Amino acid sequence: MRTRNNRISLYLDDKELERFNRKLKQTGLNRSTYLRQLIAGYGPTPMPDDRFWSYMNRISELADKIDEIAFRMGKPDEIIEILKETKAWRYLRCEIEKYYIVPKKIDTKQILKSGAKNDEKG
């Protein structure tokens, strides 16, 4: 089991806090998880809306229904072909989730460079 014994305090002005809270709400993460992802070099992604999950569930339902039909047919060669198709549907669902949900690795060097450029302008 992992324990976290070190606490960090952070002071933000009203505008920074508003922006931080807005980003938290978009991702659906709590403050600690959000900051840990940033520290680990990942950019938290906004949480998709309910329509997204409805579509994803529909993909799974279709794949399940096709599996069910294949087994009722009872012809081994056809079952194998159909199962390959449903596997492709499930893979597609996983790829969509990875693209829209899984945090992406961020290039912290690029962020630091752009921050330095902005500091020079200001």
| 34-49 pLDDT per residue, tens | 999 988 888 888 889 8
Cβ(34)–Cβ(27) below 8 Å: yes
**How many residues comprise the chain?**
122
State residue 12's pLDDT score: 94
pTM above 0.85, yes or no: no
Is the separation of the CB atoms in 116 and 51 below 8 Å? Answer: no
Q: At what angle do helices 14-27 and 31-39 cross, to 10 degrees?
A: 90
pLDDT band of residue 54 (cuts 50, 70, 90) is very high
Does the pLDDT of residue 78 top 90, yes or no?
A: no
